[in-house]
A and B are shown apart, each in its own frame.
Chain A
Amino acid sequence: MNSGALRRLYGLLRKESLQIWRDPSALAIAFVLPAVLLLIFGYGVTLDARNVPIALVVQKPSAISSSFTSQFSHSPFFRPQRFLTIQGAERAMAAHAVQGIVWLPSDFARRAEAGGNAPIGVIVSGVDANTARIIEGYVQQVWATWLTARAKAAGGGSALPFSVQPQVRFNPAVDSRDYLVPGLIAMIMTLTGALLTALVIAREWERGTMEALMVTRVAINEILLAKLIPYFVLGMGGMAGSVAIAVFLFGEPLQGSIWVLTATSALFMLAALGMGLLISGFARNQFVAGQIAIITTFLPAFILSGFVFDINSMPRVVQIVTHVVAARYFVVILQSVFLAGDVWSVILPNALALLVMAAIFLGLARGTARKRLD
C-alpha cells in the first residue's frame, strides 16, 4: 500500500471515528444495548423454575400430611398456597394463580398409615410445557426425598430399591443464566458487527456521501477497510464491556483463557462485519439494510445458534441450516470458554468454521463491491 493509499485510509478512518464519536446511536448500539440486554437476560429471563406457585390441597390435615407438605414449604422451587377443596385449587389454576396442584385426598393419611398404596394427585398446568416438565420433576424429587426420610426414620433401609445420584458438571449450580449470558454476547456482537455496519453504510448512500466518495481517487478496498477497522474496534469494545458485566456483575465463571476468548471473538467479529458489508452492498437505504440485517443475521443467531434452543432437538433439516449461522460456532466456543475452560477439541473445529465463514463473507463483500452506483 503506497503513501497515497495510507493517507486516504487515514482520512477515512478519522472521519469514521469522528462520526461514531458524535453519533449517539452508534455508541448506544455498541455499549448501551449490550448492557441493557445483559441486564434483562441476567436478571429477568431465566429458564429455571423457581418460586413456582402451586396449590396444596389437604382435605383432611393430619401429622403425616403436614410432614409431606412441609417439604414443599422448604423447597426453593415452590411457593405453596393451601386450599381446602380441589375445586378452589382448579379455579386458581384456571386463573393462572398457580401452575400446579398437589392433592392429598381425604383418605391419604389412613391409607399411608395402613402401609398401603396412598395415591397423591398431581395436576400440572401445561400452558408452558417447559415449566410443566420441570414442576413434574421437582414434585417427584420432593416425594422421593420424603419417602427416603420416612423410611430412615422408621429404622429400615431405603424404601426404594434404587436411587439416582445426579451430578452436574460445567454449571454446578444448574443456573440457566450461566449459559445464557455467553450466548448473549454472541447476539450483541452480531448486532454491532452486521446491523450497525450495514446501517452506517446505507446512511452514506442515503445522504449521497458515498456517491461523492466514489468519484475521488479512493479505491474500493480502502472504503471497505475504513468501515471494517472502526467497527471491528467498536465491536471488540462492546464485547469487552459485555464480558466485564458477565464476570463482575453476574459472577459468571470464566474458566478458559482471555486470549482464546479474544482470538475467537475477533474471528466471529470478522464474519459478522463481512455479513454487514455484504448487506450494505445492495441495501441502499437504512430501513432495508436494517430489515435485511435483522432477518439474515440477528434472528438466525438468536434462534438457530443453540443459544436458547438446543440444536440437537431441532428437526434434521433445521439442524443442517444452522451450519451457515456463524453464531452457532461462536456460542459453542463461548459456552466452553466460560463454563468448561479451553477445551481444544471444541474450540479448534469451531474456530476453524468461524475462520472459513469470515473468509467467505469478507470475500463475497469484496467481490460484490463496485466503485459504481449500478
Chain B
Amino acid sequence: MPAGSPTGHAPQPALSLADVRHTFRAGKRVLTALDGITAEAARGAVTGLIGPDGAGKTTLMRLIAGLLRIDAGRIEVLGIDVARNPLAVQARLGYMPQRFGLYEDLSVAENLDLYADLQGVPRGERTTRYAELLRMTGLASFTARMAGRLSGGMKQKLGLACTLVHPPDLLLLDEPTVGVDPVSRRELWQIIDHLTREAHMTVVFSTAYLDEAERCDSVLLIHEGRLLGHGKPGQFTAEMAGRSFFATASLGRRRLQARLAQAPGVIDAVIQGSRVRVVRAEATPPVAAGLVAEAPDLVLIPTPPRFEDSFVARLRALDTTPAPPPSATVALPPTTPQMPSGDVIAIAHLTRRFGTFVAVDDVSFTVARGEIFGLLGANGAGKSTTFRMLCGLLPPSAGTLRVAGFDLRTAAAPARGRIGYMAQKFSLYGDLSVAQNLRFFSSAYRLRGARQRARIAWAETEFELGARRDATARDLPLGFKQRLALACALMHEPEILFLDEPTSGVDPLARREFWRRINALAEAGVTVLVTTHFMEEAEYCDRLVIMAQGKVLAAGEPEAIKRAARTEARPDPTMEDAFIAVIGSPRQPAHAA
C-alpha cells in the first residue's frame, strides 16, 4: 500500500475531462462550444479555466455541474460520471454562476438560510457555520441588508458564502471576479487560498483576466473551444524566458509601439506606461540595434515573462493570416476638421443624483485634443453615468460640462454631431449584414451620395470588412463585431470618440488590434475617452482618473499614479496595486500631476 494513499487507490483527480465536446444549435447553424477538451484537476488545488469571452468556459462549467447534456466525451467529478448521476455530483458540488445566484429581494441572512435548507445543513450547525462564513467574507454587519443593495464585491462574497454553507468537495466559480473592484478581487483570492490550504477544497475558477493565471496552481488555457495549454502557470511563463523586454527610445511611445509591432522577430509590442513591452519570437540577448530604423537610441531591458506573453505566442502560432498592414496611415480619417488645440472636453463639479443616491459626485477633469483619456473603476463606480452625461443622454444634476466647445446643457444636439460612441454591449443590428449596418449608420449621421459611398468604402478597407460585407452581423466573430461597431461609430468622422468597456473579454490579439486603431486615431487628432475595469487597459491611456463610488480618487498619467503608490516593499507597483492604494486611502485624493 503506497504511503500517503490510505484508501489503497492511486490518488484520484477531483475532476477529469476526457475528450469533452459540446455543440449548440442556433437555427440551422451548429456552433461548436467545446471541441475535445481532455484535462484533469488535482484535489485540493485551484485550477484556472482561462480564456477570452466565447472560449467555452461557462459551457464547460455547466457541463461539470450537470446542467447541460454532454454531446461526446466523459466528465468525472470525484470519480462519479456526471452524465449518469448528476444528482450525486450536485450533492458534493458548490457552484457559483456568473451573476452569483443571489435572490436580490432577500436579505443576506435569508439567502444563507435558503441555501442552508437546500444543502441540508442541520439547524444546530448553522450558527457556527454562518459566523465563520460571515467573518471570512466580512459581511457580519450586513446580515439584515437586502442582497440587491450590496456592492458588487459584497454580492460576490455573499454568493460564495451561499455555495459554502455546506462545504463542498469541489467548488466551481464562474467568472467571479469580472467587473468587481480590485480590492474585492484580492479578498476573494485570499478566501480561495484559505479554502484550498486549510479546508483542502478543490476549486475550479474561470476568468477572462489573464493575470489571474499566476494565482492558480494549474491552468487550462481555452480558446475557441480548444485547449491551448494545460499545466502549472510557471510552465507557461518558463517557455517565454528571455523573450520579453521593456523598450525605451526618444521616439514617441505610440510611434515606437507601432514600429516595434512590425519589427522582425517581434511577436508582441504593447504600451505600458511610458515604455513599450516587447516579446520576441526567440530568446535573444537584449540587443536593440537595427530593430527600429527610426529609433537608433532604442534600449531593451529584460523583464520577467507574463502568462499573457505565452497566450499571445500560442495565438500567433495558430494565426496563419498575414501580419497587419503597415500602420503608419492606419485608420486616419480622410479629413479631420481643424480645431484649435486645447481642451476638447472640460467638466467641472459634475454631479448626478438619482433620488438620494449620488451616482457621480463632484467630478472635474479636462481632456486635451488627441489625448486618450481613461475612466478606470469597478462596476457601479459612476463611469457609465459620467459617459451618458458627456454624450448628452442624461442631464447633470449640478456642474458644467463642455464638449467640443458646446455647453451640453444648452446645445446637446450640435455637440452630439461631433461625437462617436461605441457602446459596451453589441448595439448594432444583428439581423442586418455588415454592409447594411454601415449604410444605416452612415445615413443616421446624414451622410449621402458620394460621401456616404466613400466612407463605407473606407470602413470596408480600413477594418478589413470587405470580405465579410454580406455576412450577418450577429454571426461575426467577437473581434469582427467590435471592428464593425468601431467603424459605425467613425462614419461621420467624429472629433471625439467615446468607448465604453471596448475590449472587455476579447482575446489578446483582438485587443491589440483594436488598440492599434485607437492609437492611430489619437495620432490623427481624435480625442478618445475610454471606460474600463481592466487595469491593464489603463496603461494604454495618456491620462486617466480612478473612480469609486461616484468620486474621482486619483487623476494623472498612468506612470504618475503608479509612482504615487510606490512603497519600499513594492518598488514597482502595478496599476492594480495603485488602484488598491488609492481606494484604501480615499480621504486624501492623490492628484498626481
Contact = CB atoms under 8 A, between A and B. Distances in A.
Q: Do A and B come from one complex?
A: yes
B106 A15 contact: yes
Contact of A374 (B68, B90, B100, B118): B68
Which of A4, A11, A213 has the most CB atoms of chain B within a 10 A radius of its CB? A11
Contacts of A372: 66-69, 86
A11 B116 contact: yes
B457 interface: no
Given A217-B91, A373-B67, A12 B114 contact: yes
Interface string B518-537: 00000000000000000000
B120 A209 contact: no
Given A18-B110, A216-B90, A371-B86, A211 B120 contact: no
Given A209-B103, A215-B65, A216-B119, A15 B110 contact: yes
A207 B99 contact: yes
For the side of the interface on A, what is the size category? 20 to 34
**Secondary structure call for the A interface:** helix
B97 A212 contact: yes
Interface string B73-94: 0000000000000110011011
A8 B67 contact: no
Nearest to A5: B120
B470 interface: no
A211 B97 contact: yes
Nearest to A215: B95
B101 A212 contact: yes
A8 B62 CA distance: 22
A218 B506 CA distance: 36
B68 A8 contact: no
Which of B95, B100, B120 has the most CB atoms of chain A within a 10 A radius of its CB? B120
Interface in A171-225: 207-209, 211-219
Contacts of B103: 15, 19, 209
B117 interface: yes
A167 to B, nearest CB: 57
B388 to A, nearest CB: 24
A215 B100 CA distance: 13
A277 B90 CA distance: 24
Given A207-B99, A371-B86, A8 B104 contact: no
A7 interface: yes
Nearest to B104: A207
Given A15-B110, A19-B103, A212-B97, A218 B66 contact: no
B114 A15 contact: yes
B66 A11 contact: no
B59 to A, nearest CB: 10
Contacts of A214: 65, 67, 90
Given A216-B90, A373-B68, 12 more contacts: A11-B114, A14-B113, A14-B117, A19-B106, A208-B99, A209-B101, A212-B97, A215-B90, A215-B95, A371-B86, A372-B67, A373-B62
Interface of B: 62, 65-69, 86-87, 90-91, 93-106, 110, 113-120, 159, 162-163
22 contacts: A11-B116, A11-B118, A12-B117, A15-B110, A18-B105, A19-B106, A207-B104, A208-B101, A209-B101, A211-B67, A212-B95, A212-B100, A212-B102, A214-B67, A215-B67, A215-B90, A216-B115, A217-B87, A219-B87, A372-B66, A372-B68, A373-B67
Query: Which are the 9 A-B pairs with shortest beta-carbon distances?
Result: A212-B101, A11-B117, A215-B95, A208-B99, A216-B118, A211-B97, A373-B67, A4-B120, A215-B65
